[in-house]
Amino acid sequence: MMQISVQLASRHDLDAIVPLFAAQEARHYALDPRLERPRTAQAIRQMLAEELEDAGVPLIARDQNGAVRGFVIARIFEIPPGNAMLCFYATRNGSHRALTLPDPASSDAAAVADTLLIALDRQWQASQTYANLLTWPSVDRWLDPLLHGHNFVADSIVAWHPNAPLPPSSRPPDPSLRVRPAHPADEQSLIALHLGEIQFHADHVAHVRIVPGVEEDFREKLARLWQGQSPEIGAPLVVVVEQNGEVVAMSENYIEQSPGWGALSRFPTGRYGYLNSVSVRADKRGQGIGRLLTQGVIEAFAPYRVDAFGLWYMPANPLSSKFWPHLDFTPLWTQYRHSGVGGGDGAT
């Protein structure tokens, strides 16, 4: 049996980690050129050195001969009470950076991945996390069986769409529908649609729920829009679909830069239109309104010169998991999740 051990890593290990990471990055790019272009060894070294200086526990996997075969930094992030992100995350979450594994064709690939997953879990358990998250390129499916064996399930997918119109539709446009920017008079309708979207997720995903503060958070974002702040400085760009004078759908959107710390932080370097909250009223679904709304969002971003668009959706959501791929939003990254110490979310 392949013998793999895990130790704490340091900057002295970079000479061995960098070529392993570079080979993985090149392999992923060959599988899906929408991912980040392979970086130079120097750029990778600088990135890893910065990661080692940040908070986290760096772990290195070695074979029985001492050769470096894998690397990861175990990290923790916490979300304070009242934060709207508690709708989707626990108060204390295990995460990681720079997960580096051998080529899956290597004889020791499964053993290295398995050993690092065990080591990650021990670090998360020691920090008393309530949920643990692992992110991996959606196109690279060899890791799926191992993740499932460690009780990870696919939790969300971050998807990419070019800055281009949606594929043609066979449905003729409904003349009673109009796409326009949101107005202050729409606020109550926007709130209802936003909460309805979260509730629909909660109906299908056990750990999603509406938490105190989510409505206030959304109103504060809208207030920046009503005050005339620009999406260039973080205000939302909100587009609605109106039918006979009534708002029946809305999309709350932002400009995001990658690299960065937002939902699209793993996208290739660039400037993106991020569709954050997209909702069609329940009695209006299945009528082509979501498609019309999405095309309206793409057009509304035209003045801001974004490179592409991105969003996340949950595979367990029976609507979004079919709708977004149908509109050619391509999965780039899949986030897997498993419960931490004692399950739950730590919020109660």
Show the domains of the chain with their CATH numbers.
5-156 (3.40.630.30), 167-327 (3.40.630.30)
Distance CA 138, CA 164 (A): 22
Would you state the pLDDT for residue 348? 46
Please state the rounded mean pLDDT for residues 45-69.
95
Please state the rounded mean pLDDT for residues 294-298.
98
How are strands ordered across the β-sheet holding 57-62?
A: 5-8, 57-62, 68-78, 92-100, 131-137, 330-339, 153-162, 308-313, 270-280, 246-258, 237-243, 177-181
- pTM of the full predicted structure? 0.94
- Taking 50 as the threshold, does the pLDDT of residue 68 lie above it? yes
From the list 293, 266, 268, 265, the residue with the least C-alpha distance to 279 is 293
- Taking 80 as the threshold, does the pLDDT of residue 186 lie above it? yes
Would you state the pLDDT for residue 276? 97
- pLDDT band for position 261 (cuts 50, 70, 90): confident
Residue-wise pLDDT tens digits, 9-51: 999 999 999 999 999 999 999 999 999 999 999 999 999 999 9
- What is the token pair recorded at 24? 């993985």
| Bridge pairing between strands 308-313 and 270-280 | parallel
Please state the rounded mean pLDDT for residues 175-203.
97
**Residues 274 and 309 sit within 8 Å (Cβ to Cβ):** yes
